[in-house]
Amino acid sequence: MPCLPITLVVMTYNEASNIARCLDSVPFAGEKLVVDSGSTDQTVEIARAHGARVVHQDWLGFGPQRNFATTQCSYPWILALDADEYLSPQLADEMTRRLPELMASSLAAAYLRRTTLFMGAPMRWYRPMLGELKARLYHRDRARWSDVRVHESLRFDGESMTFDHVFNHLHNPTLVHKGLKVLRYSELKARDWAEKARKPRMWDIPLVYLSAFTKDYLFRRACLDGWRGFIVAQTAASYAVYKRMRYYEMCINPESLKQASDVLARHDLDH
């Protein structure tokens, strides 16, 4: 497979079980860059063994960390993957064929289709896990990640294109992983709200739960994936509620910010 002037960027923290698969799925990348925020497992060693240049950066939040990574890339075109994501062979072949034309164009970015495995198997009906469009390929001078701690998105004004084949996402291997992720993401989101002095609204929590559950279970067709679909909808609705309750707690008890940060740090979740 030819080597193309594009940088694969992966942000890591203790991703020893995933990083090799992710890096190896992009054999055409002229540069593979891992931005690590202090892994204590074998992530860094494995990444280097699989051809990556590793840069250390203390955790800045998802958006700022991605923007920092952009400044470290040798090539202007960048492919951003998470460590638990990897290209399918079909997408790798398609990108090898189509990237030269893209890189010669004035386009700002490209969308990739992501399919997700949940509880050990692909979802068959739940829409967000079936070919979900993600802007992950971009020109560093024409796009930028939003500066938020969590749920960052790629922002650009120019035109884009979409690739046909999918890349894969190993979504939270167990519900324990999912629960820990909810704790971490909720804390980050609540901190963003605190910086913006957003007013907490506890009165709408029942409506938030009902709306989130209904959207995923019915309108996004999780109901057709059986009990796994119910679990997906329930965890999504619970996350929507929990982050609002946590923010309310921050507002009425500011000491809880430091107390929670200490607990999360002890469990490697405050990074």
Q: Write down the pLDDT at residue 1.
A: 67
Q: Mean pLDDT by 10-residue block, N- to C-terminus, for the chain (271 residues)?
A: 92 96 98 97 98 97 96 98 97 97 97 93 92 95 94 94 96 88 93 93 95 97 97 96 96 94 85 72
Q: Write down the pLDDT at residue 65.
A: 97
Task: Enumerate the H helices of 112-199 as residue ranges.
Answer: 175-195
Contact 66/21 with Cβ under 8 angstroms?
no
Burial code (b: 16+ CB inside 10 Å, e: under 16) for 95-122 equals bbeebeebbeeebbbbbbbbbbbbbeee
In this prediction the pTM is 0.88
- If you ran DSSP here, which 8-state letter would residue 1 be given? -
Non-local CB neighbours of 93 within 8 Å, separated by 6+ positions: 165
